[in-house]
Amino acid sequence: MAGFAEDASENLGAPGARMLVIAAQFNREIVELLSTGAMTALQRAQAEAELIMVPGALEIPIAAKIALDSADKSARSFDGIIALGCVIRGDTYHFEIVSNESARALMDLSVLRSMPLGNGVLTVENEDQALVRADPKRGDKGGEAARAALALTVLKRSMA
């Protein structure tokens, strides 16, 4: 099944799709790799991207809501959201809170607004895992998140 998803996502074209990319600054080196992968995928799909930076993964959902609300008022709405960040397990329960709550809030927002979402917030055990997953030449999770949002955007357009 993985081969099918990869093949389908490589052929995605979403000319003119306006995508909101929200990237957390925490673990910046890793998030920069995720952003590179996401932006490359969006460019290949001929989609537009607006990038917003936030402090960390917990700030991504509220930044998405603020940006979506603002865009709706200006009649320049977004077609989808791509969330990029990295949460590395530490010695405290904080990892679970950040991982679970950011994912829950993003999913709630996506479902409530029927907004295509690509969740590229990595939740990993260590920095080495994160680097492998984020690197566009190895794991390309940023690109995967963008392609997921694009696939849902294409689906939504086809259902309109």
Can you read off the two tokens belonging to residue 131?
Answer: 């680097």
In tens, the pLDDT along 108-131 reads 999 999 999 999 999 999 999 999
pLDDT at 11: 53
pLDDT digits (tens, 9 = 90+) for 88-111: 999 889 999 999 999 999 999 999
* pLDDT score of 12: 66
The whole-angstrom separation of Cα 102 and Cα 56 is: 10
- Domain residue limits, the chain: 16-159
Please state the pTM of the whole predicted model: 0.91
Q: Which fold has domain 16-159?
A: Rossmann fold (3.40.50)
pLDDT digits (tens, 9 = 90+) for 49-102: 999 999 999 999 999 999 999 999 998 999 999 999 999 999 889 999 999 999
Buried b (16+ CB within 10 A) or exposed e, 115-128: bbbbbbbbbbeeee
Residue with tokens 């910046």: 28
Alpha-carbon gap, residue 51 to 54, rounded angstroms: 10
Strand partners, 97: none
Q: Catalytic amino acids?
A: 94
Distance CA(116)–CA(151), nearest Å, equals: 8
Size of the chain, expressed as the number of residues it contains:
160
Report the distance separating Cα 114 and Cα 70, nearest Å. Answer: 17
Can you tell me whether residue 118 is helix, strand or coil? strand
